[in-house]
């Protein structure tokens, strides 16, 4: 508990220092950050909307890491999901709700899973390092989105590198205000992933393979199959994140669609120690930080650069305290 | 455990959030959404100067935020509007959709986009016809080296940027009908390395005068020009301060003048939602030479260029304008 | 040192080291002269490596002292040992593959710790490496070459050069030939003889009899942490040496084992009694003799770091504990992996009449094969998972508690608790990470798990290695009980006492070929087969 307070105090003190350097008044700026994250209904909505993709990609990363597969590719899988959701949502939008929505979400899931499976196959069949493979696939996905919004998916007016809006029949219904159904779906999926990891034999195998692949092999579990299935699920989650972002928030695809959620997801998953419950909290925290930092710019006039530094500094403070704890444990285990 | 720690953080945050009272000022307030860093010495820096001019000349409160994606545009528009800002400026063509989407919910706020064509009761575009100036720059390039090639490097391929390139090429062809102009886009506004690489590639293919319209990535173009000893043209703002040895001239917008005019109208309740166009004839758009490199332009060329600029102002020469 | 009698180069006196209840070294006293090559022989777990680590300063003995040229060595201080002239070549090379030869040689050299170290350059390192190699007459080739591109023999020379980079008086080599080809081994021995001739004391730890006889002037034999004898090699025949190594069946250690095992099983009676006599009695009591395992013409491909198996034939009857003896690295790992479907193989294996396809763990498990792996950390446990999860770390067991893929946690924990109770696994909670358990309790999990699958054939690899006496007794009693219950047990062990205690028949693996069967009492033949002296 003391340590928790210390983490908050250190993070805020460091942020205050950064803000002082930037020439802003630290207290009003931090107050704006907090108010922008949780201060009122508008802020909470922002926080939830920003949490949703982080939660899904965070779960995707945590699941893959649990299976010992360093999936750095949530970003690319998210983009492929967004691309597929837009394409399918646009083409099936004339049908009655909720068919187009289900088709678009299904397409997003499948596209993400496919993208992740490519990396998994490269490792299982060819021994390609998955970190390299997933990063490269991220680049390819970003270029594919760029190509799509300049080419086949470009808006009819042809003015801006973005798609036309996805028809309403394919959009996620709103639950409250701007909060869409995808937020609830993501929260439910956190529980599903927990059950999958800890209450099914598939999840058991994933965890064993991630912990000790050779022991898994001896136990009769194929590490190759585990990696393939885990990446299928991981990619599906990340792809769904992209699909939900299109169908619930942006309503269309555009160039530079992701602001790096797939990478932030890695921090989310690691901070959560790869546990779905922790991922939920960590994603909320990052979502709140993102929402609050926007408000810090708008209300307190802190420049975007310093907002980014405050964000990164807060994360570092948390991770450092986590790491020091981890080291103490490691030292106790291996004297 | 971490979970508990985060939970605590939320509790603290909610507690602080509860203490926070929104300060609703009754005075006139203006906000700017910039698509990139206001330190880009170009498009965004010029807008920020405009915002500060509004603050200083009208004595009003201002705020600025950097936004990158459509969801961020919408979030920022919405937040400023609900906090009672009377004028919110989305600085660029790409802000139109978000403005149109948010505007109906906040009828007492004016949403201005600097470029575009979307008009609603409280949404209007402020279009800078930078084409006037880039037309003149294209002509200048073709006159300086009639047997050479010119090129242009853009951020993203959007109408407001493409339009400046079309006019640049038209200006060059005004000097010599078959003058070749090559255009390249880097797909973003921040990547100096990509801008430099694209420019070097164009130079290798024979480009001798390069015009940039890539915002924060623009200095990458200047760097490549400096490395290979060719001249570059700046955009939106006087850019020979950025690269004194490479930038020959800039196509400049007097954004402060335009912003102050619009803000005054809104403040005085005289604002009417309609496309506002600022051109060279209004004096808002101009070509500004780098005095340090004045010797590069021979007197006769300078004379012809000035004559062409006068013709553009007088509208005796047709400059192609982008359809927005 | 100007005394009348020159002190020995290396003097060990009364070295004792305990790990819990296990005595790794028992009052070892030994004096070795400069300018000799001295062999230290013994089975696995005899205490050889412990001895090396103590002299190297990597480990502190409980009691006793080490002196070099009469000067006592501070104990448990690697740098002091190095400064006193102790050089060590460890069993697993400690070279860094991504660095060059010269860079590897510079690591740990005294100059590296001086203030000038940061002023170094590749050229200087290369020059230093070359001069070092020249001084010792060891060819290292290009000092700029990356170590991971070099053949193993060159790496062995590098490792030795590294040990020699200081003023070395005593050079300890722990199983240096394990990874070398015969040609490379011969080269190494030439090097060692050269060092001896220059007055260095070379201590060679090995379990290869032929090598010891070939290169050593004298050998000491260790068993169970104690020094059995020290003799000059010219007085020795291979058979005598093998006898010395293997010792007598009635050695005190195994006697104690039998007693404890007896009480243990009497207390909880999970299994039958454990002595060889009891096992044999059970054998005799089993009326029908069914071949639980028949292996015919089994072979595996050779690969770097792997021993190829050639034409292995073996039959194990139900109710029998059949032992496979042999010095480590003669194909034990490959035999196990081939039988259990972990590596491809040729030949036929039948378990209870069913042909087990090659390279398919699941098929082997379905045929009724269970494995107690030799390296439980690497192959038997998922250290990050809990006790109960590790207790189910086997496909057939998991299937039982996860019908339709949904894990019934209640049933799973009950199954794990049953194993924990039955095998007396000392634990705080079932949710405890397995890594928190002691080695003995971890091994109980591995054993209990293998038996929970009710195997027709249990393959156990060194199942008591590293365990204390109580755990050893329990595991051995369990194996006997399994066989008594009608399963076949294939016990692959480097501990001859264990094999002789438990098995009715023994086979010997030597260089990938299986020899035997041998009666456990036929010590001479066993020793000869293990030393590769008879076919």
For C456-500, the pLDDT digits (tens) are 999 999 898 777 777 888 889 999 999 998 899 999 987 788 898
What is the DSSP track for A119-143? HHHHHHHH---HHHHHHHHHHHHHH
Q: Tell me which of A196, A219, A274, A333 to substitute to probe the interface with C (most C C-beta atoms closer than 10 Å).
A: A219
Give the number of other Cβ atoms within 10 Å of residue A158's Cβ.
Answer: 10
In the predicted structure, residue A183 carries a pLDDT above the cut 90: yes
Mean pLDDT, rounded, for C213-223: 89
* B126, β-bridge pairs: B276
Q: pLDDT value at position C143?
A: 83
Mean pLDDT along residues C61-89: 90
Mean pLDDT of B21-29: 62
Task: Please check the confidence at residue C263 and state whether its pLDDT lies above 70.
Answer: no
List the domain range (segments joined by +) for residue B228. 131-253+290-314
Judging contact as 3 or more Cβ pairs under 8 Å, the answer for C and B is no
The rounded percent of chain A whose pLDDT value lies above 70 is: 94
Looking at residues A169-195, what average pLDDT do you find? 94
Q: Can you give the pLDDT at residue C270?
A: 37
- Number of domains chain B contains: 2
Q: Which domain holds residue C360?
A: 276-368+455-530
**pLDDT value for C125:** 82
Give the C-alpha separation, C74 to C70, whole Å: 13
pLDDT at residue number C213: 85
Nearest to A256 among B37, B69, B82 (CB): B69
- Which CATH number belongs to the domain containing residue B31 in this structure? 3.40.50.2300
Q: Is the pLDDT of residue C273 over 50?
A: no
Residue of C nearest to A201 (CA): C405
- Pair C242, C280 in one domain: no
Nearest CA in chain C to A196: C406
The token pair that represents A270 in the structure block = 């690691």
- C498/C353 same-domain check: yes
Q: Of the ranges B56-60, B62-66, C106-110, which one carries the lowest mean pLDDT score?
A: C106-110
CB-CB under 8 Å, C409 with A220: no
Average pLDDT in chain A: 88
- For A219, name the nearest residue in chain C, comparing CA atoms only: C394
Contact C89, C159 (CB under 8 A): yes
Size of interface A-B (CB pairs under 8 A): 121
What are the two backbone dihedrals, phi and then psi, of residue C167, each rounded to the nearest 5 degrees? -80, 85
User: Among A187-191, B242-246, C47-51, C439-443, which range has the highest average pLDDT?
Assistant: A187-191
B84 touching A (Cβ < 8 Å): no
Neighbours of chain C (3+ CB pairs under 8 A): A
**Do B118 and B168 belong to one domain?**
no
The total number of structural domains in chain C stands at: 2
Mean pLDDT on A248-259: 90
Q: Is residue C380 part of a domain?
A: no
Residues of chain A with Cβ-Cβ distance to B52 below 8 Å are none
Mark whether C484 and C350 lie in a shared domain: yes
Q: Across the interface, do A34 and B157 touch by the CB < 8 Å criterion? A: no
Q: Which chains touch B (3 or more CB pairs under 8 A)?
A: A
Smallest Cβ–Cβ distance between C385 and the set A207, A220, A333 belongs to: A207
Q: Do chains A and C touch, with touching meaning 3 or more CB–CB pairs less than 8 Å apart?
A: yes
CB A286 within 8 A of CB A51: yes
Per-residue pLDDT averaged across A195-199, rounded?
95
Provide the whole-model pTM: 0.77
Predicted confidence band of residue C185 (pLDDT cuts 50, 70, 90)? confident
Please report how the helices C152-164 and C182-197 are oriented relative to each other, as an axis angle in degrees rounded to 10: 20
Q: What percent of chain C has a predicted confidence (pLDDT) above 70?
A: 84
B195 and B294 together in one domain: yes
Residue B150 belongs to some domain of the structure: yes
| Percent of the residues in chain B that have a pLDDT greater than 70, as a whole number | 92
* CB-based contact C406 A200, cutoff 8 Å: yes
Q: Is the pLDDT of residue C259 over 80?
A: no
CA angle C59, C61, C66 (to 5 degrees): 95
Has residue C381 got a pLDDT over 90? yes
Specify the pLDDT at position C53: 87
Higher pLDDT, A218 or A320: A218
Among partner residues A40, A250, A305, which is closest to B37 by beta-carbon distance?
Answer: A305
Place of tokens 């209004």: B282
* Dihedral sign for Cα atoms in the order A223, A229, A233, A239: positive
Residue A311 has pLDDT above 80, yes or no: no
pLDDT of B155 reads 92
The candidate with the shortest Cα–Cα distance to C476, out of C510, C499, C453, is C499
Q: Which residue of A has its CA nearest to B189?
A: A256
- Tell me, yes or no, if B148 comes closer than 8 A to chain A by beta carbon: no
Contact A200 C435 (CB under 8 A): no
Residue B230's nearest CA partner among B215, B243, B213, B216 is B243
Q: C437 lies in a domain?
A: no
One domain for residues B107 and B177: no
Instruction: Name the minimum distance, in Å, from the CA of C464 to any CA of chain A.
Output: 19
In-domain check, residue B16: no
Is the confidence at residue A107, as pLDDT, over 70?
Answer: yes
* Residue B13 at interface with chain A, using a CB cutoff of 8 Å: yes
Does the pLDDT value for residue C272 go beyond 60?
Answer: no
Claim to verify: residue C284 and residue C200 sit in the same structural domain:
no
Boundary (domain end) residue, out of C201, C225, C246: C246
Q: What is the pLDDT of residue C155?
A: 79
- Same domain, residue pair C231 and C133: yes
Residue among A37, A42, A259 minimizing CB distance to B13: A37
For residue C114, is pLDDT > 80?
no
pLDDT band at A267 (very low <50, low <70, confident <90, very high): confident
The reply to whether B35 falls in a domain is yes
Q: Is the pLDDT of residue B206 over 80?
A: yes
Asked if residue B175 and residue B107 are part of one domain, the reply reads: no
Give contacts of A 219-258 with C, CB under 8 A.
219-221
The top-scoring range by mean pLDDT among A176-180, A269-273, B235-239 is B235-239
Same-domain pairing of C212 and C289? no
Q: Contact B6/A285, CB-based, under 8 Å?
A: yes
My answer on whether B55 and B189 are in the same domain is no
* Surface of A (269-298) touching C: CB under 8 A: none
pLDDT at A56 over 70: yes
**Which token pair is C416?**
């794990």
Does A192 lie at the interface with C, CB-CB under 8 angstroms?
Answer: no
Q: CA C351 from chain center: how many Å? A: 28
Is the domain of C226 the same as that of C350? Answer: no
Q: Are C133 and C161 in contact (CB under 8 A)?
A: yes
A161/B17 CB distance under 8 A? no
**Contact across the interface for A31 and B188, Cβ inside 8 Å:** no
In A, minimum Cα distance to B188 occurs at: A256
Model pLDDT for residues A135-177, shown as the tens digit of each residue: 999 999 999 999 999 889 998 877 788 899 999 999 999 998 8
Query: For residue C384, what is the nearest residue in chain A, using CA coordinates?
Result: A211
**Judgement on whether residues B179 and B110 belong to the same structural domain of the protein:** no
Q: Is residue C484 part of a domain?
A: yes
* Residue of higher predicted confidence among B199 and B41: B199
Least confident of A138-152, B299-313, C250-264: C250-264
Q: Does the pLDDT at position B16 exceed 70?
A: no
Coil, helix or strand for B234? strand
What is the pLDDT, as a whole number, of residue A77?
A: 98
Average pLDDT of B51-71? 92
Q: Which residues of C touch A (CB under 8 A)?
A: 340, 342, 361-362, 365, 371, 373, 378-385, 389, 392-396, 398-399, 402, 405-407, 409, 435-436
Last residue of a domain, one of C229, C246, C263: C246
- B92, part of any domain: yes
What pLDDT sits at residue C226?
Answer: 87
Q: Are residues C133 and C33 in the same domain?
A: yes
Identify the residue with better confidence: A27 or C414.
Answer: C414
Specify the pLDDT at position C268: 37
Which residue from A161, A297, A299 is facing B157, i.e. has the nearest CB?
Answer: A161
Cβ-defined contact of A250 to B70 (cutoff 8 Å): yes
**Spatial contact of C449 and C393, defined as CB atoms under 8 Å apart:** yes
Per the DSSP assignment, residues forming a β-bridge with A326 are none
Residue B17 placed within a domain: no
User: What is the tens place of the pLDDT at every residue in C8-64?
Assistant: 999 999 999 887 666 788 889 999 999 999 999 876 667 888 888 899 888 899 999
**Helix boundaries (H) for C405-438:** 409-422
Nearest Cβ partner of A278 from B2, B75, B76? B2
Classify residue C418: in a domain, yes or no: no
Res. A7 pLDDT band, cuts 50 70 90:
low
- A218:C361 CB<8 A: yes
B116 shares a domain with B29: yes
Select the residue of A204, A211, A220 nearest C384 (Cβ to Cβ). Answer: A211
Q: Is residue B190 part of a domain?
A: yes
Do B68 and B115 fall within a single domain? yes
Q: Between chains, do A218 and C373 touch, taking CB under 8 Å as contact?
A: yes
Q: Is pLDDT at A331 greater than 50 in this prediction?
A: no
Q: Nearest by CB to A35, which of B5, B17, B187?
A: B17
pLDDT at A275: 93
pLDDT reading at B14 higher than 60: no
Residue C468: CATH number of its domain: 3.40.50.300
CA distance A220 to chain C (A): 5
- By DSSP bridging, strand C170-174 and strand C201-206 are parallel
For chain B, the average pLDDT equals 90
For position C473, what pLDDT does the model report? 85
Residue B87: inside a domain: yes
B176 and B268 housed in the same domain: no
CB burial string C335-367: b at 16+ within 10 A, e below: bbbbbbbbbebebebbbbeeebebeebebbbeb
Residues in A touching C378 (Cβ below 8 Å):
212, 214-215
What integer pLDDT is reported at residue C284 of this predicted model? 42
* Residues B94, B220 within the same domain: no
Residue C190 has pLDDT above 50, yes or no: yes
Same domain, B28 and B44: yes
Is C234 or C11 the better-scoring residue by pLDDT?
C11
Residue B213, strand partner residues: B154
> Model ipTM?
0.84
B71 preceded by a cis bond (ω within 30 of 0): no
Please check whether residues C287 and C185 belong to one and the same domain.
no
- A34–B22 CB contact, under 8 Å: no
Of C361, C378, C405, the CB nearest to A200: C405
Task: State the Cα–Cα distance between residues C158 and C133, nearest whole angstrom.
Answer: 9
Q: Is a pLDDT exceeding 90 seen at residue B285? A: yes
A34-59: average pLDDT = 93
Give the integer Cα–Cα distance in Å for C232 and C39. Answer: 10
Nearest CA in chain C to A218: C379
pLDDT single digits (tens) B257-269: 999 999 999 999 9
Set out the domains of chain A in order of their start, with CATH numbers.
25-301 (1.10.3470)
Q: Note whether residue C333 is domain-resident.
A: yes
| pLDDT the model gives residue C117 | 53
pLDDT reading at B237 higher than 90: yes
* C-alpha distance from A212 to closest chain C C-alpha (Å): 5
Chain A residue closest in CA terms to B93? A160
Question: Are C106 and C198 in a shared domain?
Answer: yes
Size of interface A-C (CB pairs under 8 A): 71
Give chain C's mean pLDDT: 81
The predicted structure's pLDDT at residue C389: 95
Judgement on whether residues B305 and B267 belong to the same structural domain of the protein: no
In a domain, B234, yes or no: yes
- Please indicate, yes or no, whether residues C20 and C151 belong to a single structural domain of this protein: yes
- pLDDT, tens only, C159-172: 888 888 777 899 99
């Amino acid at each position: 508990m003391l340590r928790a307070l210390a983490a908050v105090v250190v993070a805020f003190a460091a942020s205050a220092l950064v803000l002082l350097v930037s020439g802003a008044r630290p207290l009003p700026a931090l107050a704006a950050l907090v108010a922008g994250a949780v201060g009122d209904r508008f802020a909470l909505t922002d926080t939830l909307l920003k949490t949703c993709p982080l939660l899904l990609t965070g779960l995707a990363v945590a699941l893959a890491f649990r299976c010992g597969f360093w999936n750095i590719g949530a970003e690319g899988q998210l983009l492929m999901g967004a691309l597929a959701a837009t394409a399918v949502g646009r083409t099936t939008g004339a049908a009655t709700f909720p068919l187009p929505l289900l088709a678009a979400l299904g397409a997003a899931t499948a596209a993400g899973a496919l993208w992740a499976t490519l990396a998994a196959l490269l490792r299982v069949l060819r021994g390609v390092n998955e970190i390299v493979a997933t990063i490269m696939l991220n680049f390819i996905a970003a270029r594919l989105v760029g190509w799509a919004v300049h080419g086949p998916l470009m808006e009819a007016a042809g003015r801006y590198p973005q798609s036309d809006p996805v028809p309403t029949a394919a959009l996620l219904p709103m639950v409250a205000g701007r909060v869409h159904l995808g937020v609830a779906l993501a929260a439910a999926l956190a529980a599903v992933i927990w059950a999958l990891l800890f209450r099914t034999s598939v999840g058991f195998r994933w965890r064993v393979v991630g912990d000790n692949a050779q022991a898994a092999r001896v136990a009769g579990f194929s590490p190759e199959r585990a990696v393939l299935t885990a990446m299928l699920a991981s990619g599906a989650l990340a792809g769904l994140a992209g699909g939900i972002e299109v169908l619930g928030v942006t309503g269309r695809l555009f160039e530079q669609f992701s602001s790096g959620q797939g990478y932030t997801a890695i921090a989310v998953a690691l901070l959560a120690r790869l546990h779905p419950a922790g991922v939920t909290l960590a994603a909320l925290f990052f979502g709140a930080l993102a929402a609050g930092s926007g408000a810090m710019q708008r209300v307190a006039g802190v420049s975007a650069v310093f907002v980014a530094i405050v964000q990164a500094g807060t994360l570092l403070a948390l991770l450092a305290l986590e790491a020091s704890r981890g080291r103490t444990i490691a030292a106790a285990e291996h004297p | 455990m971490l979970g508990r720690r985060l939970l605590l953080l939320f509790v603290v945050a909610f507690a602080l959030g509860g203490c926070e009272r929104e300060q609703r000022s009754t005075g006139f307030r203006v906000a700017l959404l910039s698509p990139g860093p206001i330190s880009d010495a170009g498009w965004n820096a010029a807008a920020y100067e405009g915002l500060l001019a509004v603050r200083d000349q009208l004595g009003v409160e201002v705020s600025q935020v950097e936004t990158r994606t459509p969801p961020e545009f919408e979030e920022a528009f919405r937040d400023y509007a609900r906090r009672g800002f009377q004028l919110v400026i989305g600085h660029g063509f790409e802000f139109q959709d978000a403005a149109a989407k948010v505007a109906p919910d906040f009828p007492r706020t004016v949403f201005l986009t600097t470029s575009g064509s979307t008009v609603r009761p409280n949404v209007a575009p402020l279009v800078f016809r930078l084409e006037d100036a880039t037309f003149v720059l294209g002509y200048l390039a073709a006159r300086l080296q009639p047997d050479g090639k010119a090129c242009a490097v853009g951020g993203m391929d959007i109408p407001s940027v493409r339009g400046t390139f079309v006019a640049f090429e038209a200006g060059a062809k005004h000097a010599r009908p078959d003058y070749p102009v090559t255009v390249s886009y880097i797909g973003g506004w921040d990547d100096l390395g990509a801008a430099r690489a694209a420019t070097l590639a164009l130079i290798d293919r024979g480009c001798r005068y390069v015009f940039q319209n890539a915002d924060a990535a623009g200095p990458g173009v200047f760097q490549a020009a400096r490395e290979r000893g060719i001249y570059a043209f700046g955009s939106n703002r006087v850019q020979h301060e950025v690269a004194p040895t490479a930038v020959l001239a800039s196509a400049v917008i007097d954004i402060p003048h335009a912003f102050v005019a619009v803000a005054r109208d809104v403040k005085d309740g005289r604002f009417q939602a309609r496309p506002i166009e600022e051109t060279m004839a209004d004096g808002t758009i101009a070509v500004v030479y780098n005095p340090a490199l004045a010797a590069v332009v021979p007197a006769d060329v300078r004379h012809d260029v000035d004559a062409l600029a006068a013709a553009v102002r007088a509208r005796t020469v047709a400059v192609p304008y982008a359809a927005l | 040192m100007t005394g009348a009698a020159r002190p020995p180069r290396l003097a060990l006196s009364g070295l004792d080291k305990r790990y819990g209840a296990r005595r790794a070294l028992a009052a070892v006293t030994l004096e070795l002269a400069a300018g000799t090559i001295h062999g230290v022989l013994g089975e696995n777990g005899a205490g050889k490596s412990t001895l090396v680590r103590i002299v190297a300063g990597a480990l502190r003995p409980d009691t006793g002292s080490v002196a070099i040229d009469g000067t006592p060595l501070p104990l448990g201080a690697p740098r002091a040992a190095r400064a006193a002239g102790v050089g060590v070549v460890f069993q697993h090379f400690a070279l860094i593959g991504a660095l060059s030869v010269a860079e590897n040689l510079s690591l740990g050299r005294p100059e590296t710790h001086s203030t000038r170290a940061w002023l170094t350059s590749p050229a200087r390192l290369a020059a230093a490496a070359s001069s070092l190699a020249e001084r010792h007459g060891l060819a290292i080739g290009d000092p700029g070459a990356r170590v991971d591109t070099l053949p193993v023999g060159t790496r062995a020379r590098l490792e030795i050069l590294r040990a020699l980079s200081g003023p070395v008086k005593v050079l300890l080599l722990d199983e240096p030939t394990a990874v070398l080809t015969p040609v490379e081994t011969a080269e190494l021995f030439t090097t060692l003889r050269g060092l001896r001739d220059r007055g260095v004391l070379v201590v060679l730890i090995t379990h290869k009899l032929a090598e010891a006889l070939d290169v050593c002037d004298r050998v000491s034999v260790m068993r169970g942490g104690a020094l059995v004898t020290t003799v000059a090699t010219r007085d020795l025949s291979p058979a005598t040496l093998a006898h010395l190594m293997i010792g007598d069946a009635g050695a005190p250690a195994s006697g104690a084992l039998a007693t404890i095992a007896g009480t243990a099983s009497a207390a909880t009676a999970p299994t039958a009694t454990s002595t060889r006599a009891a096992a044999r009695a059970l054998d005799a009591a089993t009326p029908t003799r069914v071949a639980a395992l028949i292996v015919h013409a089994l072979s595996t491909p050779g690969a770097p770091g792997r021993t190829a198996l050639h034409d292995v034939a073996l039959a194990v009857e139900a109710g029998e504990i059949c032992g496979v003896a042999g010095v480590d690295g003669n194909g034990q790992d490959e035999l196990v992996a081939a039988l259990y479907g972990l590596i491809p193989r040729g030949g036929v294996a039948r378990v209870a009449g069913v042909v087990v396809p090659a390279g398919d763990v699941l098929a082997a498990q379905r045929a009724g094969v269970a494995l107690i792996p030799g390296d439980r950390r690497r192959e038997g446990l998922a250290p990050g998972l809990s006790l109960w999860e590790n207790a189910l770390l086997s496909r057939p067991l998991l299937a039982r508690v996860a019908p339709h893929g949904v894990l019934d946690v209640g049933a799973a924990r009950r199954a794990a608790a049953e194993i924990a109770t039955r095998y007396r696994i000392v634990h705080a909670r079932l949710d405890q990470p397995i890594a928190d358990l002691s080695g003995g309790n971890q091994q109980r999990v591995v054993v209990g798990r293998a038996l929970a699958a009710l195997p027709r054939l249990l393959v156990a690899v060194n199942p008591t290695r590293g365990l204390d006496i109580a755990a050893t007794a329990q595991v051995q009693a369990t194996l006997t009980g399994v066989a008594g219950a009608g399963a076949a047990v294939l016990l692959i062990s480097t501990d001859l006492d264990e094999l002789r205690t438990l098995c009715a028949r023994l086979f010997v693996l030597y260089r990938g070929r299986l020899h035997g069967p041998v009666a456990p009492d036929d010590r001479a033949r066993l020793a000869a087969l293990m030393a590769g002296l008879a076919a």
